[in-house]
Structure 1
Amino acid sequence: MKVSLRRINDNYLFETKNERGDIVLLDNKSEADPKGSSPMDLLLRGIAGCSSIDVVMILKKQQHELEDLRVEVEGFRVDGAIPNVFKKIHLDFILKGDVPPAKAKRAVDLSMKKYCSVAKMLEKAAEISYAVQLNGEKIE
Structure 2
Amino acid sequence: MNFSMNENGFTGHLPFGDLQISSNEEHGFRPYQLLVSSLAICSGGVMRKVFDKMRMSFEDIQIEVKEVVRNDEVAGRVEKVHLHFIITGDIKDEKMPRILELTRKNCSMVQSVQDSIEVVETYEIR
Aligned partners of 1:71 and 1:93 also within 8 Å? yes
Q: For 1:1-140, what aligned pairs fall within 5 Å after superposition?
A: 3-7=1-5, 9-12=6-9, 14-18=10-14, 20-29=15-24, 34-73=26-65, 74-79=67-72, 81-112=73-104, 114-135=105-126
- Do the aligned residues in 2 keep the contact of 1:51 with 1:108 (CA within 8 Å)? no
The runs of 5 or more residues in structure 1 that have no matched partner are 136-140
Question: Which one-letter code corresponds to 1:77 in the other structure?
Answer: R
Gaps of 5+ in 2: none
Residue identity matched to 1:111: T
> How big is the shift at 1:17?
2.3
Q: TM-score, normalised by structure 2?
A: 0.87
More helix by share: 2
Is the CA contact 1:105–1:132 (under 8 Å) kept in the aligned structure 2? no
Q: TM-score, normalised by structure 1?
A: 0.79
Percent of aligned pairs with the same amino acid: 26
1:138 is matched with none
Contact 2:93 2:125 in 1 (8 A): yes
Task: Say what the alpha-carbon RMSD is for the aligned residues.
Answer: 1.7
Number of residue equivalences: 125
Inter-partner Cα distance in structure 1 for 2:4 and 2:58 = 38
Structure with greater strand percent: 2
Larger relative contact order (CA 8 Å, sep ≥ 6)? 2
